[in-house]
Structure 1
């Protein structure tokens, strides 16, 4: 029997629904991957500011300096670049290659740590000097 929906969808008479089911499963797999990218990006966008600003509370609350805080504040910049990369990967069109964005993300994260370290040293130094 020929289904009226088959004819409206442009499929030939007696077309099997299996290829369409496979195509839908592939789209669902791509969407689940994109959802994972969005979750990682959101987590990174929340974690990076926390990694940068929470160590600034150490000299205020504890009174003495902690060199590990500068390392954490510097790494926050790399986390921010990685979160941006995952956000871009989540926005790639279906059939695209989302992993291509990792080619620029890794060097950008390493380069971002240089101004991140300078900013962390200045911000932390000013806060420790003021207390």
Structure 2
């Protein structure tokens, strides 16, 4: 086996791994965002960890996008170049992610509190 064939096999294996990671990220990010909204239904009041989890979902989504881009990089280019844009974008995505996550979570907590206060019994 020549070095070129070995390099092609390694590159194909890496691209397959990037696809698996990106698909996992595209499934995990929505789960990380929406599942914590169930927490106020089973616990009383405000908790901070669901907001942290929901905010991190935005960084996971950016990372999954980066791995998807790495998987589709042409064979003659370095797939690692996508990490150069993914890291700052993921960090930047945390601010609007935190605002959206906090607002949505606090809205759910408020609505559930109001419903519990007005419930008969």
TM-score (ref. length: structure 1): 0.81
1:105 paired residue number = 86
> Can you give the 5+ residue segments of structure 2 that lack an aligned partner in the other structure?
113-121
1:120 paired residue number = 101
1:73/1:116 contact within 8 Å kept: yes
Measured in 2, the distance between the counterparts of 1:117 and 1:44 equals: 19
1:23 paired residue number = 4
- One of 65, 73, 76 as aligned partner of 2:54: 73
**Residue pairs, 1:13-92, within 5 angstroms:** 21-92=2-73
> Can you give the 5+ residue segments of structure 1 that lack an aligned partner in the other structure?
1-17
Q: CA deviation at 1:27?
A: 1.1
Measured in 2, the distance between the counterparts of 1:50 and 1:66 equals: 18
* Higher relative contact order (CA closer than 8 Å, sequence separation 6+): 2
TM-score (ref. length: structure 2): 0.88
Please tell me whether Structure 1 or Structure 2 has the larger radius of gyration of its CA atoms.
1
Measured in 1, the distance between the counterparts of 2:84 and 2:3 equals: 31
Computed over aligned residues only, the root mean square deviation of the Cα atoms, in angstroms, reads: 1.1
Q: CA deviation at 1:66?
A: 1.4
Measured in 2, the distance between the counterparts of 1:94 and 1:121 equals: 42
Number of residues paired by the alignment? 112
